[in-house]
């Protein structure tokens, strides 16, 4: 899920749709239908384009934010999962779920232009614009690798932990945050040295870093987990929710966290409001049925 043009865009793999949710009106305003198995999302806000990985058809579907209509489909050499748009590279980087590789789509040419073959299974991506690198967690290798603009492995960080998943980069602190089994790590982005770690729930998938509040938010199955990164690196809060969610989106203007998931055979969207002062999610404000 991701924000585009002020709307929350969510892939719905079970229904073969992409749902567009208005966070002000608290209702769905559009659907992109007839997709196979939509997964990752990347947004080029300036160009008004949303890139959606369709794992079933091995394509990236491009949707315009003006009218929410499909503009084109880009054939891919693998089954797209996680996506990341990097503005300065004018590229969308793509994790292929059916092979150990990451692809790159040129957003000017609107086609796949390169592939980086890896020796492990990539899961999530994060961009380091200072070094012009893209970091990828290799879940089965206990590693994070950094891919350069030539789609070569420029750095390799070995972790003293297992099952790395979510990853996020803090440009101000030049830190890399990585979710691993039962912990979240803070790494030096230059050499991969572990600065600190905090115990965390099992099953963390995605990580989201909010630069303004200097906090990490993590989707941890049936909870939203928060970590303070300013000063002492420490767990801040763990908020149980009504659904099992694997991804998050954060609206810094409204200070709200959104987690989609399922409950009792229905798809739900849980909305959490941060407590006063920008601390961790503390108050559940709504659980909306989205399908």
- Helix, strand, or coil (residue 88): helix
What 8-state DSSP symbol labels residue 230?
A: S
Q: What pLDDT band is residue 51 in, cutting at 50, 70 and 90?
A: very high
In the chain the domains, ranked by start, together with CATH numbers, are: 1-117 (2.130.10.10)
Task: Name the nearest CA neighbour of 149 among 128, 175, 165.
Answer: 128
Q: Say if residue 32's pLDDT is above 50.
A: yes
Average pLDDT over residues 196-213: 91
Phi, psi of 87 (to 5 degrees): -60, -45
How far CA 143 is from CA of 139, 241, 246, in Å, comes to: 7, 30, 21
pTM over 0.85: yes
| pLDDT tens per residue, range 84-137 | 999 999 999 999 989 999 999 999 999 999 999 999 999 999 999 999 999 999
User: What pLDDT does 274 receive?
Assistant: 67
Which of 39-43, 52-56, 164-168, 237-241 has the lowest average pLDDT? 237-241
| pLDDT tens per residue, range 233-282 | 999 888 888 787 788 999 988 889 998 887 666 788 889 886 533 444 44
User: Between residues 17 and 268, which one has the greater pLDDT?
Assistant: 17
Spatial contact of 53 and 80, defined as CB atoms under 8 Å apart: yes
């Amino acid at each position: 899920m991701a924000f585009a043009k002020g709307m929350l865009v969510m892939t719905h793999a079970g229904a073969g749709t992409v749902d567009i949710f208005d966070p002000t009106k608290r209702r769905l305003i559009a659907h992109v239908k007839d997709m196979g198995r939509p997964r990752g999302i990347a947004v080029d806000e300036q160009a008004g384009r949303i890139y959606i990985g369709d794992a079933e058809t091995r394509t990236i579907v491009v949707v315009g934010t003006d009218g929410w209509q499909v503009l084109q489909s880009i054939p891919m050499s693998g089954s797209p999962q996680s996506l990341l748009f990097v503005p300065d590279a004018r590229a969308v980087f793509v994790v292929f779920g059916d092979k150990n590789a990451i692809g790159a789509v040129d957003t000017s040419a609107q086609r796949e232009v390169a592939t980086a073959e890896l020796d492990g299974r990539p899961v999530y991506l994060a961009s380091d614009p200072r070094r012009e690198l893209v970091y990828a967690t290799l879940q089965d290798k206990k590693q994070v690798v950094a891919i350069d603009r030539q789609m070569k492995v420029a750095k390799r960080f070995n972790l003293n932990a297992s099952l790395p998943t979510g990853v996020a980069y803090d440009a101000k602190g030049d830190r890399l945050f990585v979710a691993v089994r039962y912990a979240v790590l803070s790494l030096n982005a230059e050499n991969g040295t572990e600065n600190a770690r905090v115990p965390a729930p099992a099953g963390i998938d995605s990580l989201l870093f909010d630069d303004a509040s200097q906090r990490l938010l993590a989707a941890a199955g049936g909870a939203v987990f928060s970590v303070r990164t300013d000063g002492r690196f420490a767990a801040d809060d763990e908020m149980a929710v009504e659904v099992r969610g694997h991804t998050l989106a954060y609206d810094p203007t409204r200070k709200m966290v959104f987690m989609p998931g399922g409950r009792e055979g229905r798809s739900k969207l849980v909305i959490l409001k941060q407590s006063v002062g920008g601390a961790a999610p503390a108050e559940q404000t709504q659980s909306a049925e989205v399908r």
